[in-house]
Structure 1
Amino acid sequence: MARPCKLVLMALLVAAMASPLALAYDPSPLQDFCVADKASNVFVNGQVCKDPAMVSAGDFAFSGLQNAGNTANPFGSKVTLVDVKALPGLNTLGIAMARLDLAAGGLNPPHTHPRATEILTVVEGEMYVGYLDTTGKLFAKVLHKGDVFVFPKGLVHFEFNFGATPAFGIAGLSSQNPGLVRVADSLFGASPAITDQVLAKAFRIDAATVQRIKAQFATKK
């Protein structure tokens, strides 16, 4: 009887260890759908469900990804995100998607999605993409039309178009609300601002340089 007991204990231990991991993802649906009620002011972890009697096919549809995003900005990039705010039917389903447009020389600057893994497919053009793991190792690759690349959840990543023509891709994300943290914007454009001393020490530059960089981000607000 000793061996079966050990196996049961091991199974319970594995289940206990796995439980916190399961809780880290978007809540699982307990019904066919839970369309987000945009009119509700109740704050919950996710979105309040709309009355099923008021749900229509339009709650599950989004139109616009066929249109190129406006890349006339300093980065030469535009992300059109289809999350639960844009598509209420995504509520509790744990997925979202986006269209990424990059002008020639355009960059989607280093950023993270704190709640989602991302998988990107290049539809037109070429992109140099990559991410950094928690040791600082870079995983990067040049992608061509039809190529796919995955960015693990929460890790800093980027996309750059080094070509002479525009490029765009379609991304899937494993959260209805992936979140976005742009690294440079968060550090140099924070409000209230991070002190010059902190940034100067972190980046091994002087306070005057910090001020010059902060000024660049202040003009984009």
Structure 2
Amino acid sequence: MILPIFIASLLFASSSFAAVQDFCVGDLSGPEGPAGFSCKKVAKVTVDDFVFSGLGAAGNTSNIIKAAVTPAFSTQFPGVNGLGISMARLDLAAGGVIPMHTHPGASEVLVVVQGSICAGFISSANAVYFKSLKKGDIMVFPQGLLHFQINAGGSPALAFVSFSSPAPGLQILDYALFGNNLPTELIAQTTFLDSATIKKLKGVLGGSG
């Protein structure tokens, strides 16, 4: 009796999976919720929804960090909505750095295609894992952990990254501390930095308080 029930349950599960829609191209005219965008009507979906050409051009690295990230998330690339994947391009000029940051919603895989990049992350036990990567090397950064990338050579570096979410999220540690109006005295108490240093960093990163 158990075997027929088991077979029946498999058949039911198979038919349920078969009924799942093939894709959910994001309707960018609506709001983005925790589960992503609502689905665009299939009749309005075109092949262009599944193609993104924005990663072919280098980003502008003439900024304070000498780096640029060009995302292909659901907001830019609605075809990945609901698929649990996305990508980005990472350009690092000589001396460029992507500061300590975290992606709350996704793990990340980085592949170096030009130059040399020192990359690493810090575990929740405060263990540090970092290495200088060269062309063809791949490194993974587990979801939610602080990590960084630094140009380790004297010439521009290029990498492509993939994420396990169409909307991985981003929080940069420096901006979280010094790019807002969190009072200087609170930052001093929680980081053990002196007020003069904090105010200087706030001035550089656009914070106040």
TM-score (norm 2): 0.86
Match of 2:28 among 29, 32, 38: 38
Code of the aligned partner of 2:191? F
Q: Deviations over 1:23-63 (max 9, x none)?
A: xxxxxx93101111112258563101111011000011100
Q: Where does the alignment leave 5 or more consecutive residues of structure 1 unmatched?
A: 1-28
Segment of structure 1 superposing worse, 62-71 or 115-124: 62-71
Is 1:167 aligned with 2:157? Answer: yes
Is 1:95 aligned with 2:85? Answer: yes
Is 1:69 aligned with 2:59? Answer: yes
Q: Distance in 1 between matches of 2:92 and 2:158?
A: 6
Q: Deviations over 1:147-173 (max 9, x none)?
A: 000000000000001211100011110
What does residue 26 of structure 1 align with?
Answer: none
Q: Distance in 2 between matches of 1:45 and 1:140?
A: 32
Match of 1:209 among 197, 200, 203: 197
Is 1:125 aligned with 2:125? Answer: no
Equivalent residue of 1:99, what SS? strand
What does residue 135 of structure 1 align with?
Answer: 125
Q: Distance in 2 between matches of 1:189 and 1:171?
A: 25
Q: Distance in 1 between matches of 2:96 and 2:32?
A: 40
What does residue 3 of structure 1 align with?
Answer: none
Structure 1 position 211, deviation (Å): 1.4
Q: Distance in 2 between matches of 1:167 and 1:73?
A: 16
Match of 1:145 among 101, 118, 135: 135
Q: Number of aligned residue pairs: give it.
A: 189
Contact 2:120 2:147 in 1 (8 A): yes
Code of the aligned partner of 2:131? K
Equivalent residue of 2:166, what SS? coil
Pair 42,168 (structure 1): closer, same or farther in 2 beyond 3 Å = closer
Q: Distance in 1 between matches of 2:20 and 2:202?
A: 46
Match of 1:116 among 106, 109, 124: 106
Q: Distance in 2 between matches of 1:165 and 1:107?
A: 13
Say what the alpha-carbon RMSD is for the aligned residues: 1.6
Q: Percent identity?
A: 43
Q: Distance in 2 between matches of 1:41 and 1:102?
A: 32
Code of the aligned partner of 2:205? F
Q: Distance in 1 between matches of 2:57 and 2:126?
A: 36
Structure 1 position 204, deviation (Å): 1.4
Q: Distance in 1 between matches of 2:127 and 2:53?
A: 38
Is 1:197 aligned with 2:185? Answer: yes
Code of the aligned partner of 2:62? A
Equivalent residue of 1:131, what SS? strand
Is 1:106 aligned with 2:96? Answer: yes
Structure 1 position 112, deviation (Å): 0.4
TM-score (norm 1): 0.82
Q: Where does the alignment leave 5 or more consecutive residues of structure 2 unmatched?
A: 1-18
Code of the aligned partner of 1:168? L
